[in-house]
Homo-oligomer: A and B are copies of this chain.
Amino acid sequence: MQVTIARKAHFNAAHRLHNPAWDDNRNREVFGKCNNPSYHGHNYELIVQLTGNIDPETGYVMDMKKLSDLIQEEVCERFDHKNLNLDTAEFYALNPTAENICVVIWNLLRAKIDLNKQLKVTLYETERNFVAYEGLA
């Protein structure tokens, strides 16, 4: 009996989209105003979903409080009120698009969650744009 549980979290960060292999014109052409060298920023809203069996003793798939604490430690403390390009090892050499941020968060959490649970991460960059990743098919 597989049930999915989900927990929301959020962090606020600056970033800029840029490919160092390209010249400035190509970067501006592809990334537009997201390429601004002075950075811009977002309120990132995160939904972390785990799918697994209900533990018959607790009635939980996982304790939501522990899941919430894990997201705080692994994701929010790492990225909140940071400049993703300048302040984080993860995006030192990786373009911080919503897609790449989502995959990075999935990898950070995957390493800390029992493998008998499936993991899905959804990341809202704005209320109108979001991305999701569930791991390799």
Query: Interface on A for B, CB 8 Å cutoff?
Result: 1-10, 12-15, 17, 19, 21, 30-34, 36, 38-43, 45, 54, 57-61, 63-65, 80-83, 86-87, 94-100, 102-103, 126-134, 136-137
Contact = CB atoms under 8 A, between A and B. Distances in A.
Nearest to A1: B136
Contact of A83 (B30, B39, B86, B95): B39
Contacts of A95: 58-59
Given A43-B42, A57-B19, A34 B81 contact: yes
How many copies of this chain are found per oligomer? 6
15 contacts: A4-B133, A12-B40, A14-B14, A14-B83, A30-B58, A34-B81, A36-B82, A40-B41, A40-B83, A43-B126, A54-B99, A54-B103, A59-B94, A59-B100, A64-B129
**7 A-B pairs with least C-beta separation:** A41-B41, A38-B83, A59-B97, A33-B81, A59-B95, A14-B14, A14-B41
Nearest to A6: B130
Contacts of A31: 58
A28 to B, nearest CB: 12
